């Protein structure tokens, strides 16, 4: 039965064409992503458990407060207790790698959008597409191009999680007050100085909101990515589903939630507070505030 608009055929023809002619390109991309996510995961796996505890709790203490640091310690202990440490580090590596790639592509795209209305008009529908197309749809070509494993998982995650970083970078720069931009220009900034000394710092809350969203979306892809062999906590959940093992599925889910809470609070703290604060001054205010709180509590 011949359809009038065989879009599906065009797409699969296109994918076939790319497979035949652009395999080198995909190998290159795969190698790049492999490098980032492989190294990150290896690094995380090689890091002693106590060091992960120390770094995450330390960050929590610095950026958020002692209560949160305490939560981090307990939450990580729960993961350790569920015997999901290795999976959690795999997932963390995947999420961080996907986020790095998404930000590496997304943030500059956002800047380009903010600087040019034409770029913005072209990029916006692409972003809509990336965000609304069901993830399973691009899992198939991802597997075709990159095979099973961590790489296609990362790529699918990148596609799904990148849009907010682009959008919020664009929005943040466009919303920098006109007079601040004028001040920058009036004092003799060239293009790069204007971007780095005025626009990016003033857009920082918005940018950090974008980074936060990207990380959260990346985490939400964990289970789906594990369907094409990305491993990690997603695999635990998937196994739970396949075996109808409610307990196992819950443990995997809990691990994801814990990671989400830690990453969310940490990245949010970078958005809401002045990033110009030196760690030292933060540390000082932390001690004064910490003692206040504890005397109150």
Partner 1 sequence: MDSKLAVQGVYKVFGGDPREALERIKRGEDKDTIFAETGLTVGVADASFSVEEGEVFVVMGLSGSGKSTMVRMLNRLIEPSAGSITLNGRDITRMSRKELIAVRRRSISMVFQSFALMPHQTVLQNTAFGLNVSGMKREEREKRAMEALDAVGLKANADSYPDELSGGMKQRVGLARALATDPEILLMDEAFSALDPLIRTEMQDELLRLQSEQARTVVFITHDLDEAMRVGDRIAIMEGGRVVQIGTPDEIVRAPANDYVRSFFRGVDVSHVFTAGDIARRDQLTVVERSGMRLRAALSRLDQSGRQVAVVNDRARVLQGVVTVDSIAQQLESSVGGKDGDIESAFIDDPPILASTPLTDIMTRVAESPWPVPVVDDEGHYVGAISRATLLLTLDRQDPEASEEEASHGA
Query: In this chain, which of 198, 209, 225, 262 binds partner 1, going by CB under 8 A?
Result: 198
Q: Token pair of 197, please?
A: 């000394």
**Nearer Cβ to partner 1 (5/186):** 186
Under the binding rule (CB under 8 A), the answer on residue 282 touching partner 1 is no
- Answer yes or no whether residue 283 interacts with partner 1 by CB under 8 A: no
Spatial distance between the Cα atoms of 178 and 297, rounded to a whole number of angstroms? 45
Smallest distance from the beta carbon of 197 to partner 1, in angstroms? 7
CB 282, min distance to partner 1, A = 14
169 binds partner 1 (CB under 8 A): no
Q: Which stretch binds partner 1 (CB under 8 A): 2-10, 78-86, 201-209, 229-237?
A: 201-209
The nearer residue to partner 1, 136 or 196, going by C-beta atoms, is: 196
**Gap between the Cα atoms of 18 and 238, Å rounded:** 31
130, 102 contact by CB (below 8 A): no
Please select the residue that binds partner 1; options are 12, 180, 220, 268, rule is CB under 8 A. 180
Nearest-angstrom CA–CA distance, 173 and 160: 23
CB of 274 to partner 1, least distance (A): 6
d(CA 136, CA 138): 6
Determine, following the binding rule CB under 8 A, whether residue 175 of this chain makes contact with partner 1. no
Residue 15 touching partner 1 (CB under 8 A) = no
Minimum CB separation from partner 1 for residue 117, in Å? 16
CB of 172 to partner 1, least distance (A): 13
Work out which of 7, 186, 244, 280 binds partner 1, going by CB under 8 A. Answer: 186
Contact 145, 152 (CB under 8 A): yes
Q: What's the farthest any 2 CA atoms get from each other in the chain?
A: 77
Instruction: Using the Cα atoms of residue 92, residue 94, residue 97 and residue 101 in order, give the sign of their dihedral.
Output: negative
For residues 76 and 53, is the Cβ–Cβ distance under 8 A? Answer: yes
The span from the CA of 27 to the CA of 146, in Å, is 8
Residues 76-98, buried b or exposed e (16+ Cβ, 10 A)?
Answer: beebeebebbebbbbbbbbbbbb
CB of residue 124 vs partner 1: minimum separation in angstroms? 25
Q: Which of 193, 220, 239, 268 binds partner 1 (CB under 8 A)?
A: 193
By CB under 8 A, what part of segment 258-277 binds partner 1?
Answer: 274-276
Q: Is residue 179 near partner 1 by the rule CB under 8 A?
A: yes
List the structure tokens of 182: 């004028």
Q: Is 183 in the site for partner 1 (CB under 8 A)?
A: yes
Token match 């699918």: residue? 156
| Residues found near partner 1 in the complex (CB under 8 A) | 177, 179-180, 182-190, 193, 197-198, 201-202, 204, 274-276
């Amino acid at each position: 039965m011949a359809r009038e608009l065989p879009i599906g055929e065009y797409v699969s023809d296109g994918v076939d064409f790319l497979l035949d002619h652009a395999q080198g390109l995909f190998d290159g991309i795969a190698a790049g992503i492999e490098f980032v996510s492989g190294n990150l995961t290896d690094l995380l796996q090689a890091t002693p458990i106590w060091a992960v505890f120390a770094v995450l709790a330390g960050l929590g203490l610095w950026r958020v407060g002692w209560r949160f640091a305490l939560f981090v310690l307990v939450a990580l202990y729960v993961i350790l207790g569920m015997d999901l440490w290795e999976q959690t580090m795999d997932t963390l590596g995947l999420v961080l790698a996907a986020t790095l790639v998404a930000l590496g592509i997304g943030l500059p795209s956002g800047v380009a959008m903010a600087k040019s209305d034409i770029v913005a008009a072209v990029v916006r529908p692409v972003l809509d597409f990336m965000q609304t197309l069901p993830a399973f749809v691009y899992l198939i070509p991802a597997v075709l191009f990159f095979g099973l494993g961590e790489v296609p998982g990362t790529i699918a995650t990148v596609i799904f999680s990148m849009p907010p970083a682009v959008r919020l970078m664009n929005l943040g720069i466009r919303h920098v007050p006109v007079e601040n931009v004028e001040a920058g220009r009036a004092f003799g900034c060239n293009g790069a100085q204007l971007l780095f000394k005025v626009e990016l710092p003033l857009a920082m809350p918005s940018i950090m909101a974008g980074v936060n969203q990207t990380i959260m979306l990346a985490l939400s892809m964990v289970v789906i990515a594990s369907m094409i062999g990305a491993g990690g906590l997603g695999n635990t959940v998937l196994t739970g589903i396949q075996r109808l093992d409610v307990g196992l599925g819950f443990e995997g889910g809990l691990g994801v939630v814990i990671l989400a809470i830690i990453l969310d609070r940490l990245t949010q703290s970078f958005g809401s507070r002045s990033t110009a604060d030196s760690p030292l001054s933060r540390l000082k205010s932390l001690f004064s505030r910490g003692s206040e709180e504890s005397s109150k509590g």
